[in-house]
Structure 1
Amino acid sequence: MTATDSSRPALGRVLWRQTWPMAIGVLALLGFQLVDSAFIARLGTAPLAAQSFTFPLSFLIIGVQVGMGIAIAALISRAMGAGEALQARRLGSLVLLVGMSVMACLTLLLWALQTPIFTRLGADAATRELIRGYWAPQLLAAWVGALLYFGYSLFRAHGDTRLPGKLMVMTSFINLLLDPLLIFGLGPWPGLGLPGAAWATTIAFAVGAVVLGQRLSRTDWLARRGLSAELRRSAPVFAGIAGPAMISQLMPPLAAMLAISTVAALGESAVAAWGLASRLETLSLMVVLAMTMSLPPWLGRCYGGGDWAQIHRLMRLALRVVVVWQLALGLLMALASSGVAQLLAGSPEVRDELALLIRFLLPSYAALGVCMIVVSAGNALGWPMRAMLMSGARLFAFYLPCLWLGSRLGGLTGLAAGAALGNLMAGVASWLVLRRILASPHRRPALSAGEG
């Protein structure tokens, strides 16, 4: 047995230890978002459709924060891999200060532009009125959630995935308790309806932020001095990673906007079913999402240390896990699609359409997961531009054209089949690109390098 062969079980155990806390946390976090939608579905098709129209903008906010989180995690892990602990502390302070400011500006902008945006997405006047009461607390929840995410990024960059996982579970449990109370009310206290779901999320995230702040104050991961000089020095490198990473993360919200515009032409029930399917998509990708959080800091440390052999082993193992897990889960969900739709949807029409979407889409997420892992790894391994191009190709060369053409040819059935085909094509293309990149010889890049 070779040294490489003997290291694989140990490598798998380390990957498991790094990933399972984040997987449980992601499961809890995305699970409560699905529960939100399930509760809202009990209010009727109109509130569920109103919430569904906000998903692309919520993904936009998440895209910006994830892009920044990817960049800071990559820089901190590289600094640690190169033995620059003081620089890592300065970077940790900067991400919290800059991230909070950027996200505050973005949420205020989305509040000011809500009417033209939702009108362009296809929401009528009655739906926009429902959205207005929900959008303000939802944007507040998004800002507090972004603060939490930046804190999670610091812990992950330092190799601690347990605390973020625990806090995700805690905030999800708080949200689950508050949802029915704030949406439907209790006894003499009336419920808030659709806005109650957003307020429940805001309160849950605020509690998590307080706990995270207390734990962060006990570490030595932050610095108070030298921040201005570090900002000037690291800004070009940060922009070189964060810019392409943000564009990569902003492409899915843009694609979601275009997709929901296509779905809106099929009717209100189709929009409601598509919204539930979108929540189910992110929940079913929990292992992939956990790996996109736990794997890049590890890859970044290998990148900083020039250990490309370990990078090869990590990527092969991660892709095997993703394909086997997502394919098994997708086929199981497809077989149980009627029962899942019955559990989540309110009206019979929405249930039938949701079941149809599940049968086509869930198995295709094995290929989608491959693409997500490759894009996430790209930002940690010094080729953010290639990662951005792969993300763009997935959405605009494969997914959206197939989805649009399918809807034109076969309505909702054609749309679902087209989306699944687009995911499959994107996964195969990403795997081929990764093989080509990792097959080429590498030199150890400098810490400040961009595309490698």
Structure 2
Amino acid sequence: MAIGALSLLGFQLVDSAFIARLGTAPLAAQSFTFPLSFLIIGVQVGIGIAIAALISRALGAGERERARRLSTLVLMAGSAIIGVLAVALWLGQRPVFIALGADDTALAYIARYWPVQLLAGWFGALAYFAYSVFRAHGNTRLPGNMMVLTSLVNLALDPLLIFGAGPWSGLGLPGAALASVIAFAVGVFITARRLFRQRWLTRLGLGGETRRSLRPFVGIAGPAMVSQLMPPLSAMLAVAVVATLGDTFVAAWGLASRLETLSLMAILALTMSLPPWLGRCYGAGDWGQIQRLMRLALKVAVAWQLALGLGMALAAHWVALALAGQPDVQRELALLIRFLLPSYAALGVCMLVVSAGNALGFPLWSMLMSGVRLFVCYLPCLWLGMQLGGWIGLALGAALGNVLAGLAAWQLLRRMLRA
């Protein structure tokens, strides 16, 4: 899963690196869409958390027929929910982007890019739901392989569709979204065939299973979705704060956001692979194994993120040089890397605790922790830092918010394990 997450998040960073070669305005326009893209991802991850929790618990209790019914239901419901959300985001795009601070130039780029990106988001969600079913059954190899495959397809198509080749002039910014559409569609097609071959889906007993599982599904997916929707809302507010400084800072912030997800690939792999394992232990009542798993996961998270963060901070100048095409964007991005990357060790602790809480029957506690992280620790420190120290203060405040969130999550985990 770490390899798959690295490749998947890497191709998103590659998108931004290619778009940066188009100029600051297209890169800033793409950065304005990140919060709404994270909104779609937040809903899909919330549904995926419920998928992994319910199916893995059913398998842990030996209820394999129920696991088949649950797999079918969540795939059907998830595709419909993401489709409705994508249409709503397309219809209401202009007032939202204006509220985020996009000017007329950015809106012109967004109008061509956003519909294609929404289609890419829908295909990406379908692939994610199918991957969640495989993970719930203990198969992480196929999702990891498919993430690598889709990233390679995207990498091959990006330069062709963005810049063109020979007589083909390329599509510019929309070309990056179209490459993602094709890549995710390939992933959906291959994974769907494997799902049918594994016989993990069924058409029998869906009505009764819907009545039986609707309440526990909503009980897990509801708080999980709220938890996952908080980061996009926080990202919108953060972009609005950064936008007051100008397009250069928005572009640097957008690249830093992409780099954040890439640098957290080991944590994201743990949040995808650990909950099904915890769910099976939950179904079997093995709480001693749960405690051992959590201790190991937290040690790995802190050690890895500290080593990576300090290394990236030392190489910040060269990383920014590779990612950003404009010298002013490179300078501001390097500063963000130096302050933010080491703080992701604490952020990783928080992410693991939230993920574990959803898998272990504490979805409301996880939702509360997500809210505390973003709206009590991160955003107030970010805003206050900018007021006191400008761009440097903003970076330092965001890092301090991550550290405070990690400390709060550690206290919450101790309380959950005692309970």
Alpha-carbon distance, 1:230 to partner: 0.7
Measured against aligned partners, the alpha-carbon deviations of 1:65-91 in whole angstroms (never above 9, x if no partner) come to 000000111000001111111110000
Does residue 149 of the first structure (1) align with residue 128 of the second (2)? yes
Measured against aligned partners, the alpha-carbon deviations of 1:44-64 in whole angstroms (never above 9, x if no partner) come to 000000000000000000000
Distance 2:34 2:415 in 1: 35
1:122 to 101, 108, 117: 101
1:318 to 297, 302, 312: 297
Alpha-carbon distance, 1:232 to partner: 1.4
2:77 to 98, 112, 115: 98
Distance 1:273 1:228 in 2: 50
- Residue 256 of structure 1 corresponds to 235
- Residue 31 of structure 2 corresponds to 52
- Residue 196 of structure 2 corresponds to 217
Distance 2:171 2:119 in 1: 16
Distance 2:35 2:207 in 1: 35
Measured against aligned partners, the alpha-carbon deviations of 1:365-395 in whole angstroms (never above 9, x if no partner) come to 0000000000000000000000000010000
Distance 2:104 2:308 in 1: 39
Listed as ranges, the gaps of 5+ residues in structure 1 are: 1-21, 441-452
Distance 1:171 1:220 in 2: 24
Distance 1:382 1:201 in 2: 35
Alpha-carbon distance, 1:244 to partner: 0.3
Amino acid at match of 2:36: L
Scaled by the length of structure 1, the TM-score of the pair is 0.92
Alpha-carbon distance, 1:231 to partner: 0.9
Alpha-carbon distance, 1:417 to partner: 0.2
Distance 1:144 1:83 in 2: 32
- Residue 217 of structure 2 corresponds to 238
Does residue 299 of the first structure (1) align with residue 278 of the second (2)? yes
Amino acid at match of 2:257: S
Measured against aligned partners, the alpha-carbon deviations of 1:206-235 in whole angstroms (never above 9, x if no partner) come to 111111111111112111111111111100
- Residue 74 of structure 1 corresponds to 53
**Percent sequence identity over aligned pairs:** 71
Amino acid at match of 1:51: Q
1:270 to 232, 245, 249: 249
Measured against aligned partners, the alpha-carbon deviations of 1:266-317 in whole angstroms (never above 9, x if no partner) come to 1100000000000000000000000000000000010111100000000000
Amino acid at match of 1:58: S
- Residue 35 of structure 1 corresponds to 14
Aligned residues: 419
- Partner secondary structure for residue 240 of structure 1: helix
Amino acid at match of 1:221: W
Distance 1:94 1:46 in 2: 43
Alpha-carbon distance, 1:109 to partner: 0.3
389-398 vs 209-218, greater mean Cα deviation: 209-218
Measured against aligned partners, the alpha-carbon deviations of 1:340-374 in whole angstroms (never above 9, x if no partner) come to 00000011100000000000000000000000000
Alpha-carbon distance, 1:436 to partner: 2.1
- Residue 192 of structure 1 corresponds to 171
- Partner secondary structure for residue 189 of structure 1: coil
Q: CA RMSD in A?
A: 0.5
- Residue 437 of structure 1 corresponds to 416
In the TM superposition, 1:135-146 aligns within 5 A as 135-146=114-125
Distance 2:137 2:313 in 1: 38
Alpha-carbon distance, 1:414 to partner: 0.5
Does residue 63 of the first structure (1) align with residue 50 of the second (2)? no
